[in-house]
Structure 1
């Protein structure tokens, strides 16, 4: 019976870790700010590349602010009353970015959006790396081939490698913990 409980625990933890490891998490305004009146969100968003599967984390004082996801017209008018997609109020909100597209967020507290608490992010489809290209030439009567990877595909491969590494390290830790529990 104990082995079954341990196996169930390992399965649940593994599923949880797999779900969180597939995308990156970005704290809005980091490293210098948070969801507040001081941060330049246009500048912050220009330095972040978001992909479907990532998540945004909004950290703020729940007594002073909130996060309202709105339509483009709500963003442009700083008005969430008829344009609300979702509202977050905990002060530590994780917003999954499940699909590619443009997302709009404002602070719903009166005057805060007009003072600059608004964020537009563009979410891209995950990068697909190009397959390596084979380059062949004849030298000394023999065909010699080399494989090359384009710079753009190697950069996207590095992103996937980093995420894959995190995934495998977490999975290995969970499996090791499960083996300890089973013994």
Structure 2
């Protein structure tokens, strides 16, 4: 690579390739809880939550009629009992709540309107620290009222690019740059 112009093109392409890899780590998804059914009664949120792989940085959007529902982030014991007199970590009441999954951990959500949580307006998820295609583990069982059954047969509607996808894209970009 004696030609300075060719060396400049190659350097530019390598910078693009590295930036492409960095974007992979910074990508986050926005999920509307319940998809088109939104945050409402009569939805199986256990099934909904198993369709996706949640990661740190992702955002959950709870859309609902403000006078009919709310969104509480709670502890696991409050999730299981549906008693929001204790164990409430955050209250959201706007009707268009956006909750960012800020750390890798288990998150538990309920509607605090009497009867709604026990009626199924609750779910738990695991936010992982990195993008992965593994299914989240189901919530642990206890003697308290069990959450709705989780069905793992739902297809993942929104798919993140895997590491292999990025390697193929980067390799193709480098090849195009070399031809350029």
Question: Which TM-score band applies after superposition, normalised by the shorter structure?
Answer: 0.5 to 0.7
**1:63 equivalent in structure 2:** 67
Greater RCO (CA < 8 Å, at least 6 residues apart): 2
Determine which structure has more spread, i.e. the larger CA radius of gyration.
1
**1:126 equivalent in structure 2:** 130
Using a 3 Å threshold, how does the CA distance of structure 1 residues 122 and 160 change in structure 2: closer, same or farther? farther
**Matched residues in 2 for 1:94 and 1:27: separation?**
9
Shift of 1:125: 1.0
Say whether 1:34 aligns with 2:38: yes
Matches within 5 A, 1:12-91: 22-30=27-35, 32-91=36-95
Matches within 5 A, 1:82-101: 82-101=86-105
**Matched residues in 1 for 2:43 and 2:70: separation?**
15
**Matched residues in 2 for 1:55 and 1:160: separation?**
26
Using a 3 Å threshold, how does the CA distance of structure 1 residues 161 and 92 change in structure 2: closer, same or farther? farther
**1:149 equivalent in structure 2:** none
TM-score normalised by the chain length of structure 2: 0.60
Say whether 1:105 aligns with 2:109: yes
Shift of 1:45: 0.6
**Matched residues in 2 for 1:161 and 1:22: separation?**
18
Across the aligned residues of Structure 1 and Structure 2, the Cα RMSD in angstroms comes to 2.5
**Matched residues in 1 for 2:41 and 2:114: separation?**
12
Structure 2: give runs of 5+ residues left out of the alignment: 1-22, 133-160, 170-180
Say whether 1:156 aligns with 2:160: no
Structure 1: give runs of 5+ residues left out of the alignment: 1-17, 129-153, 163-183
Structure with more helix by fraction = 1
Using a 3 Å threshold, how does the CA distance of structure 1 residues 161 and 64 change in structure 2: closer, same or farther? farther
**Matched residues in 1 for 2:129 and 2:96: separation?**
26
**Matched residues in 2 for 1:39 and 1:160: separation?**
38
**Count of paired positions:** 117
